[in-house]
Chains A and B, each alone.
Chain A
């Protein structure tokens, strides 16, 4: 189980890195999101796997059952998912706006903030 999960995480990271390195804005955003899911899996894996019960204190009991899952990593993952979800929404809107305003989604073409120098020695003037 652990091995399968480790392989799955490795594969997801590879896909995420490959996409994130793309010059295309949308691919880059998706890549970062995929990378985020891989990291969320890592957090989840930090709580260990096994034949375990959901971490709910049953009625009448004072504490969790013997083989209950660790609830903390689940809470951490949930927080991380919500945050990365907000960032993903933001980056999608940002990407769409960028494409609309600059007419390109190739990051090499996005040169408004850092224009290429015309002079061999001095940087261009930013207006």
Chain B
């Protein structure tokens, strides 16, 4: 059997063989990766992290799901779907700058609030809204690309048959 050196042909090779281990681990892994993504997003307030990296991490979950179980399964586990998610994200990020204009600050000046929870203070801000927007935009856009790549490489991946 001829092994193609062409990188564009790698994708079908992955799809034609079942990955038993991945198939077993994936349902659990999906949630873990997504939780990690949200943690990175949250951490971005004061430490390295943030919406962009978080979005990429979430994308890793979607991409793995799509590779193992096929694109439709990954689509089902995503909120909204690639394009609406991306657009909602962009809209959210753009709107997060608006509250500042209400208080007379320039657009995108970010506001911080401390929500008292009794035992601790929960710091919230419009930056978080912005970051969630970026998170959704990155997740949505790039998963669109991933789906296009996987769909293009092989129409009948094992996950889609089952």
Interface residues of A (CB under 8 A from B): 25-26, 82, 86, 89-90, 92-93, 95-97, 99-100, 105
Contact = CB atoms under 8 A, between A and B. Distances in A.
Given A89-B142, A93-B148, 6 more contacts: A25-B8, A26-B7, A89-B145, A97-B148, A99-B6, A100-B153
A14 B149 CA distance: 29
Nearest to B145: A89
Contacts of B6: 26, 99, 105
B139 interface: no
Contacts of B141: 86
Interface in B7-26: 7-8, 11
Interface in B116-161: 141-142, 145, 148-149, 152-153
Contact of B153 (A89, A96, A105): A96
Closest 4 CB pairs of A and B: A89-B145, A93-B148, A99-B8, A97-B152
A95 B8 contact: yes
B131 to A, nearest CB: 14
A82 B52 contact: yes
Nearest to A99: B8
Contacts of A92: 145, 149
A93 B8 contact: no
A17 B152 CA distance: 28
A96 B149 contact: yes
Contacts of A26: 6-8
Nearest to A88: B145
8 contacts: A25-B8, A26-B8, A86-B141, A93-B145, A93-B148, A99-B8, A100-B152, A100-B153
